Amino acid sequence: MPIRISETLKRLLIVYVVIFVFQQSLTQFLGFPFNAWFGLIPNAILGGKIWQLFTYSFLHADVMHLILNLLVLAFVGSDIEAVWGRRKMLLYYFYCATMAGLFYLFVQFLISNPLYLSIPMVGASGGIYGLLLAYGILFPDRQMFFMMLFPMRASQFIWILAGIEFLQAAFSSNQGGLGAIAHLSGMGAGFLFLWLQAKGFQLTRGASPKKKKSASHLRLVKDNPPEDDDRNGPKTWH
């Protein structure tokens, strides 16, 4: 079945591809230290390059890294936007990416490994893991494929994904473990966002300043459900 991608997601995907072309071209052909300026480097943050907390999520290490992230973004982003609207979806996505970067920095400074403090972190995974969490809550019964082979409910898929990242963060002694911490941080930031909303806090512009009656779970994230919640049938993610 065809994939429905909203105009917002199409533009965001194009931005990622264009930036990747600039990143690779300037680095390989002109020798410009693109990652050093726009990747997330703990020592650079201490040196005043605060913008890296936002720009790092637009960079990717290689073509496969880019493709995998954009595939997930394309599959889940449009459905979330259909429920939340463009503004809230983008706010949530970049909030998760930024919070993932902040917690990654906190852990890096806590460990204080001189080697790791100078290595740039790149990738949109923090924001994408936040979107995956929201997708599992909004569409818990949608079918997803784990390892492209095993069909399961979206809610189950998210728990397994979180478990894998936790094991990697806990038992990996290299930079990959720190990357897993950033992924989990994106999910954790997303959960905090949704929990606050479920408690009645308005996190998007234009909402009433009054606190709504609290809820006991996260059902309030489905504040603007579309007429057909399943969008003409279940979708799959590989």
Could you give the CA distance from residue 71 to residue 20 in angstroms, rounded to a whole number?
A: 15
What's the pLDDT score for residue 212? 43
Tens of pLDDT, residue by residue over 5-31, are 899 999 999 999 999 999 999 998 888
Tens of pLDDT, residue by residue over 149-183, are 677 888 888 888 888 888 887 777 666 678 888 89
Domains and CATH numbers, the chain: 7-221 (1.20.1540.10)
Could you give the CA distance from residue 79 to residue 86 in angstroms, rounded to a whole number?
A: 11
Q: Count other C-beta atoms under 10 Å from residue 120's C-beta.
A: 19
| Average model confidence (pLDDT) across the chain | 81
Tens of pLDDT, residue by residue over 84-114, are 999 999 999 999 999 999 999 999 998 888 8
Give bridge partners of residue 146 from the DSSP assignment: 150
Q: What is the dihedral of CA 78, 206, 101, 42, to 10 degrees?
A: 140
Contacts of 28 (CB under 8 A, 6+ apart): none
Q: Estimate the crossing angle of helix 175-198 against helix 86-111, to 10 degrees.
A: 140
Q: Count other C-beta atoms under 10 Å from residue 149's C-beta.
A: 7
* pTM of the predicted model as reported, rounded to 2 decimal places: 0.79
